[in-house]
Amino acid sequence: MAKKERGVCRPIEVETKALVMGLREANRRALNPLIVESDCQVLVNLLKNGMDDFLAGEKVKWRFTPRKSNSVAHWLAHAGLSWEQQIVWVENPPLSLCCLIEADLGQGPSGQN
């Protein structure tokens, strides 16, 4: 069980930590290619230019996605505030999350049809 950390962090610190944890889990499960989206342009630029060693041999596409088009991330961040432990879904995420994922997939990159 992961320890829930309390304290004050800047949003970019929290998003970076969550993204690295997600990349490690995807790597552990040999899930690739990956599309990683963030509403933080600074983070996307840093990752595009600084993750080559971490992701050696992996196929990762980095995308800036405006917050208004990133409802899945918003749902996860909001829901995560109430979780007492780390949760990883590979199959069968909650129905409310599935609906957002399906809607997101229908929009294409950066919320565009």
Please state, as a whole number, how many other Cβ atoms lie within 10 Å of the Cβ of residue 31. Answer: 13
Q: Which residues pair with 62 in a beta bridge?
A: 36
Give the C-alpha separation, 56 to 70, whole Å: 27
Residue 86 CB contacts under 8 Å (≥ 6 apart), including other chains: 1, 2, 21
- How confident is the model over 52-80, as pLDDT tens digits? 555 655 678 888 888 777 788 888 877 87
In the prediction, which pLDDT does 36 show?
A: 85
The SS3 of residue 64 is strand
The 10s digit of each residue's pLDDT in 13-25 is: 888 888 888 888 8
Mean pLDDT of all residues belonging to the chain: 77
Phi, psi at residue 64, to the nearest 5°? -80, 130
pLDDT of 107 over the 80 cut:
no
Give the pair of three-digit tokens for residue 76. 């996860």
**Closest of 62, 112, 15 to residue 104, by C-alpha:** 112
Q: What is the pTM assigned to this prediction?
A: 0.64
pLDDT at 2: 47
Helical pair 11-28 and 41-50, crossing angle rounded to 10 deg? 40
User: Which is more confidently placed, 104 or 2?
Assistant: 104
